[in-house]
Amino acid sequence: AQRVTQPEKLLSVFKGAPVELKCNYSYSGSPELFWYVQYSRQRLQLLLRHISRESIKGFTADLNKGETSFHLKKPFAQEEDSAMYYCALSKSGYSTLTFGKGTMLLVSP
């Protein structure tokens, strides 16, 4: 069975500092990886997906199949980045998502 692991429950940084939210996965097939974000009092929403290779709100994530990782990075954190971040995986041929437990990012001024 597939699994997504986010080792950090909470990541606290200062504004302007670099951010890396870790995500590791286990799946024997060809996964698609996503980052979803939930801002305070808002619904869960897609931040980025690995196949699009986009940079959204300054965040990037690279799929490393050798290390089975999909870490989310931003060079300079902003206070508005404070939110709950979930890494998720979908299996080959399916749209259903397997989520990690999430990492709360707190960016202090």
Question: Please, are residues 58 and 35 in contact by the beta-carbon 8 Å criterion?
Answer: no
Site size toward another protein (CB under 8 A) is 24
**Footprint on residues 11-70 left by another protein (CB under 8 A):** 32, 34, 43-46, 49
Q: Which two tokens stand for residue 22?
A: 């870790």
**According to CB under 8 A, which one of 23, 37, 102, 107 is a site residue for another protein?**
102
Least distance to another protein, CB of residue 59, Å: 16
Least distance to another protein, CB of residue 80, Å: 20
d(CA 54, CA 56): 6
Question: Please, are residues 60 and 5 in contact by the beta-carbon 8 Å criterion?
Answer: no
93 binds another protein per the rule CB under 8 A: yes
Residue ranges of the alpha helices (H) in the chain?
Answer: none
d(CA 7, CA 70): 12
10 binds another protein per the rule CB under 8 A: no
Interacting residue ranges for another protein, rule: CB under 8 A: 4, 6, 32, 34, 43-46, 49, 86, 88, 90-102
